[in-house]
Structure 1
Amino acid sequence: MNQDILSYIMNHAGSLSLQEILVNFIAAIAVGGVIFLSYRFSHSGALYSGKFNVSLWMLTLVTTLVMCVIGNNIALSLGMVGALSIVRFRTAIKDARDTAYIFWAVAAGICCGISDFMIAVLGSVVIFLLMLVLGNIQGNNRYLLIVRGGAAAGEKIEQAVQEVYGGKARLCVKNSARESVEYIYELSQKLLQRTENVDISERLFQMDSVETVDLVSQNDEITS
């Protein structure tokens, strides 16, 4: 029994001809191009990373290469799993969608590596169309209102901010010193839109001891 299992493992190398390998890589290049375009269309601004996008294309080809090497050789596949298990990735993912693109590239490479082009093409087309529709959906932006002024104006600053925003401005941080005070409020985008006709800076600068008023956008892409 053990000899039969060993014989099966050693004799099923799954070696591919040169023509089959070329066809697999041509398909991987085509599918990787679809992934490349999808990522480019669904990401914009500071969130888009050209290097990461190229890496997705390369990941599709590398996965195809690995699958061509493994074939249906069970011994080789187990050895490859053991070798790859020592790899540790430390690249920070800026967008949750990037993880989905990585899995897409790996799955497409696997399909091309085993010559299952139908699943690779149909799956990539469906995901591509879905990302065209949903890819530009962004998270709700949050804003931070930062006010710095003299310690004597603390109560007036709190009162003015709550009056302008109807008591819906959430106080996150209050830093107090002997002669100064700093407030950091969190505001939603809808709240700012409802009060866009009111200039909070002008209202606060009417107080002599207010020094600075900053409004900072905070979202999933980048804090600016």
Structure 2
Amino acid sequence: MGETINFQDVIKKSMLHLEAFRSISYVDMLLGLVCSFGIGLFIFWIYRKTFRGVVYSYNYNVSFVLMTVITTLIIMTISTNIVLSLGMVGALSIVRFRTAVKDPLDIVYMFWAISAGIASGAKMYPLALFGSLVIGLILAWLSRRKLKEQVYLLIVRHSEAATDEIRVQLRKLDSKLKSKTVRKDFTELTVEVMLRDDNTSFVHTISNIEGVHDVSLINYTGDYAQ
């Protein structure tokens, strides 16, 4: 009698003989890790050069390098055995990251590191290298454009006698009133000012107006002021 082959046997044999689930060579492992490490260092450099937040975190930046390499290791692991791949998916599904991301742009760097790690682990080295180069150039270009035009908060405390002169000076700026607080002895204005260069001479001009108590100019980043 011939051997009976059921549907489960067919599926089992087809899964075990998939080309994607073969042993990976030492050369592929070395190339993948070197590629991911190099891309991780490139992400590290781009993040440091384009960072415009309040406090630069070296440890957070280093995590992008490690994230790229670790993702490569995971992809290499699950690409050698279907059982390991299913187990890895189950293990990673219970992991929860609760670290608050202050800047939405940081999420872009995280996805960049993970995507580069996946491409390196899948042995798509040209895609990982060329894609990372394009993303890095885009981020650098957008960062330079942002430097040409920055938002500041101008805070002026003055008496009623200086109101008219302050209005004249504010009309000369690209400004927008954000808040106005009136007290018995003074008035406090918070004005959003858009600057395209580092010329802050208007601060001295406003501070020299008779009736102005103090003037503060703060760089505004959206969530923080520095």
- TM-score (norm: length of structure 2): 0.74
Q: Does 1:34 align with 2:42?
A: yes
Q: Does 1:88 align with 2:97?
A: yes
Task: Note the C-alpha offset of 1:220.
Answer: 5.3
Distance 2:179 2:9 in 1: 71
Q: Does 1:108 align with 2:116?
A: yes
Partner of residue 216 from structure 1, selected from 211, 215, 218: 218
Partner of 1:201: 207
Partner of 2:191: 185
Distance 1:148 1:59 in 2: 48
Q: Does 1:176 align with 2:178?
A: no
Amino acid paired to 2:168: E
Partner of 1:141: 150
Superposition RMSD on alpha carbons, in Å? Answer: 3.4
Structure 1 unaligned blocks of 5 or more: none
With over 3 angstroms needed to count, the CA separation of the structure-2 counterparts of 1:136 and 1:91, relative to structure 1, is farther
Equivalent residue runs for 1:24-103 within 5 Å = 24-43=32-51, 46=54, 48-71=56-79, 73-86=81-94, 87-94=96-103, 96=105, 98-103=106-111
CA contact (8 A) 2:203 2:215 kept: no
CA contact (8 A) 1:9 1:75 kept: no
Task: Note the C-alpha offset of 1:201.
Answer: 0.8
CA deviations 1:180-211 (Å, max 9, x no partner) are 432222222269969849701111xx12xx43
CA deviations 1:113-165 (Å, max 9, x no partner) are 1222222222233334444544433263222222334xxx33x3432221222
- TM-score (norm: length of structure 1): 0.75
CA contact (8 A) 1:165 1:195 kept: no
2:129 aligned counterpart, secondary structure: helix
Partner of residue 124 from structure 1, selected from 104, 119, 132: 132
Q: Between the two proteins, what is the percent identity of the paired residues?
A: 30
2:188 aligned counterpart, secondary structure: strand
Distance 2:198 2:48 in 1: 31
Amino acid paired to 2:189: Y
